[in-house]
């Protein structure tokens, strides 16, 4: 019996450790409820640290919300403006690098334009052109109803002379007539046209009415400025 008692007495009884975290939180809550608002010095150190951290958080939030946020907007706007200026600089720098190439291309285009304008006649010579159109029509077999000379249209570099042609013939004759107009030495461009059959018939080849709008061109004659004589003073 004695030995069994000793064995029992040698066993260690394990007691559960207190949960410090939950107890600390409870004590912290009780401390907050029992604070002496008139004696700040008596507050526990944990409460003082919590209040200081809370004040710092609010100060940082106000500092960001008021001046820092406005500065951030200014910084973003400045960055966007800087990017725009950088893109503009790159575009202008690219144009500057290719400036000589552009100049040579412009000079070549101006020379080609001058050469083309020199090929235009100095006057319209409508009578000669109408004679050429008439001969082309006779050669293709069509019959003219009317050749109307419209008023000239002045453009920036040349003058247009519209001519409206009304004729009668079949498809093959019209095709030969158009080819003949393109072969004339005078520059003629063909624009709107209408073809209709006023008397359709299945027994004979249809005779069609053609209305064709054409244009010829001449160069603009630049008048030389007349030299004005200097004004003479009275009595001289």
- Residues 91 and 127 grouped into a single domain: no
Residue 210: closest CA among 165, 180, 178 = 165
CATH number at 160 reads 3.30.70.60
- Residues 133 and 71 grouped into a single domain: no
Total length of the chain? 236
Tell me if 12 is assigned to some domain: no
Burial class (CB in 10 A: 0-12, 13-18, 19+), 217: buried
Give dist(CA 88, CA 137) in Å, integer: 60
Q: What is the pLDDT of residue 73?
A: 77
Q: What is the pLDDT of residue 229?
A: 40
Tell me if 179 is assigned to some domain: yes
- Residues 135 and 53 grouped into a single domain: no
Q: What is the pLDDT of residue 213?
A: 92
Give dist(CA 44, CA 127) in Å, integer: 117
Residue 165: closest CA among 190, 139, 197 = 190
Residues of the chain below pLDDT 70: 1-43, 63-70, 119, 121-124, 200-205, 221-236
Tell me if 227 is assigned to some domain: no
Print the domain residue range for 61.
Answer: 41-97
Report phi then psi at 114, rounded to 5: -60, -40
Tell me if 107 is assigned to some domain: no
Which alpha helices (H) appear in 98-125, and where do they start and end? 99-119
Residues 140, 167 contacting (CB under 8 angstroms): no
- Residues 63 and 127 grouped into a single domain: no
- Residues 127 and 204 grouped into a single domain: yes
Q: Strand locations in the chain, DSSP E?
A: 143-149, 153-154, 158-169, 188-196, 208-219
Give dist(CA 110, CA 104) in Å, integer: 10
Residues 165, 209 contacting (CB under 8 angstroms): no
Tell me if 16 is assigned to some domain: no
Q: What is the pLDDT of residue 193?
A: 86
- Residues 206 and 131 grouped into a single domain: yes
Q: How many CA atoms lie within 13 A of 197 on its CB side?
A: 10
């Amino acid at each position: 019996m004695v030995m069994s008692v000793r064995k029992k007495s040698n066993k260690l009884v394990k007691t559960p450790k207190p949960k410090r975290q939950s107890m600390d939180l409870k004590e912290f809550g009780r401390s907050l409820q029992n604070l002496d608002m008139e004696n700040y010095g008596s507050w526990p150190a944990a409460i003082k640290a919590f209040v200081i951290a809370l004040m710092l958080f609010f100060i940082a939030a106000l500092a960001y919300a008021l001046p820092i946020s406005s500065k951030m907007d200014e910084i973003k706007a400045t960055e966007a403006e800087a990017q725009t200026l950088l893109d503009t600089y790159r575009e202008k720098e690219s144009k500057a690098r290719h400036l000589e190439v552009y100049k040579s291309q412009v000079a070549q285009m101006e020379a080609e334009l001058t050469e083309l304008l020199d090929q235009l006649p100095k006057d319209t010579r409508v009578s000669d052109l109408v004679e050429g159109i008439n001969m082309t029509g006779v050669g293709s077999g069509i019959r003219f109803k009317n050749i109307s000379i419209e008023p000239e249209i002045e453009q920036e570099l040349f003058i247009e002379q519209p001519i409206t042609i009304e004729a009668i013939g079949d498809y093959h004759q019209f095709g030969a007539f158009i080819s003949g107009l393109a072969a004339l030495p005078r520059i003629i461009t063909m624009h709107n046209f209408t073809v209709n059959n006023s008397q359709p018939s299945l027994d004979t080849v249809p005779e069609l009415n053609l209305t064709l709008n054409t244009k010829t061109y001449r160069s603009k004659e630049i008048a030389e400025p007349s030299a004005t004589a200097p004004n003479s003073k009275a009595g001289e």
